[in-house]
Amino acid sequence: MMNTKLKLLVLAVAGFCSAAVMAEESKEDKIARAKSAAPASVSDNATVIDTDGSVLVEGDNGWTCMPDTMPGDKAPMCNDATWMKMMGAVGKKEPFVADKIGISYMLQGEPSGSGVSNSTPYHPDHKNSDDYVETGPHLMIIVPKNLLEGMTDDPNVGGPYVMWGDTDYAHIMVPVSLDGKQVKTKKSE
List, in order, residues 6 or more apart from 170 with CB less than 8 Å away.
Answer: 98, 142, 145, 148, 162, 163, 164
pLDDT, tens digit (0-9, with 9 covering 90-100), for 101-146:
999 999 999 888 888 999 999 999 988 999 999 999 999 999 999 9
pLDDT, tens digit (0-9, with 9 covering 90-100), for 28-64:
999 999 999 999 999 999 999 998 999 999 999 999 9
Mean pLDDT of 93-97: 97
Assign 181 a pLDDT band (cuts: 50, 70, 90): low
Residue 132 vs residue 2, higher pLDDT: 132
Return the pLDDT at 23: 56
Mean pLDDT of 146-168: 95
Worst-scoring range by mean pLDDT, 25-34, 48-57, 66-75, 93-102? 66-75
pTM of the complete model beyond 0.75: yes
30-66 b/e with 16+ CB inside 10 Å = b?
bbebbbbbbeeebbeebbbbbeeeeebbebeeebbbb
Element (H, E) at 172: strand 171-175
Task: Please check whether residue 34 is in contact with residue 66, taking contact to mean a CB–CB distance below 8 angstroms.
Answer: yes
Mean pLDDT of 77-105: 96
Mean pLDDT of the residues in the chain: 86
Q: What percent of the chain has pLDDT over 70?
A: 86
Return the pLDDT at 187: 75
